[in-house]
Amino acid sequence: MRKGQAHLIEYLFTILFTVIIITSITAIIYTFYTNSIAVESKESMRQLAIQVSNEVVKAYNTAKNIKSTPENSTSVLLYETDLKLPSKISRRNYEVVLIPGSSVWSTVQSINVGGQQVNPVISTPGAKVIVSTTQDPVESVEYEIPNVDITIQGRVENGINSTLRYYRYNLNNTISDVVILGGYEIILSISSIG
């Protein structure tokens, strides 16, 4: 091998090694950046989910015992508050979704003890608040809303129109209560699938 070729090969290996080092450092920095944003946004989302859950419980406790009976095919607004949600979470767009508790979806757990099956445990999911980012890194936090036996629904993006309302409605002489987050005007309630 000639001296010129040896220098050229050495130069190419130096460039290749430098590119690998720079790529590795960039990947490490990017991973650290996305992980730190994910941790920061998850904590902010958890706090926001707790705030929304507390507001739903407050609306429920305030309006549940109000003695008001709407006429057939009408509704009455019993409680309303603006949640004043932030426009961003950790500089990321986000959404808040209220998921109603339902007997339609059940969780069945089969438990084996000593090789024998014990009675299955059937549980129905309760109402939840789900807060998730809509930009990378996409993260999500679920938080259960305790002791709310009414329908909840709604969705808010980036804190826009974050009004929480508690309605009592009469549909075919059946009175029901619902908590709605956001600007929804249609009330959905699924009780069974036939």
**Domain extents in the chain:** 3-181
Q: Residue 182, exposed/middle/buried by CB under 10 A (0-12, 13-18, 19+)? A: buried
What pLDDT is recorded for position 187? 58
Strands (DSSP E) contained in 22-139 are: 74-82, 94-99, 107-113, 116-123, 128-133
What pLDDT is recorded for position 190? 45
Q: Per residue in 103-127, pLDDT tens?
A: 444 455 556 666 666 555 555 567 8
Q: Whole-angstrom Cα distance, residue 166 to residue 146?
A: 17
What pLDDT is recorded for position 57? 93
* Residues listed for the chain: 194
192 has a pLDDT exceeding 50: no
Q: Whole-angstrom Cα distance, residue 137 to residue 140?
A: 10
pLDDT band at 194, cuts 50/70/90? very low
Write the DSSP string, 36-55: HHHHHHHHHHHHHHHHHHHH
3 has a pLDDT exceeding 80: no
In the predicted model, what is the mean pLDDT of the chain?
Answer: 84
Average pLDDT value for residue range 84-96: 92
Q: Strands 151-157 and 74-82: what pairing? A: unpaired
Q: Output the pTM of the full model.
A: 0.71
The C-alpha angle with vertex 129 and arms to 96 and 192, in degrees rounded to 5, equals: 115
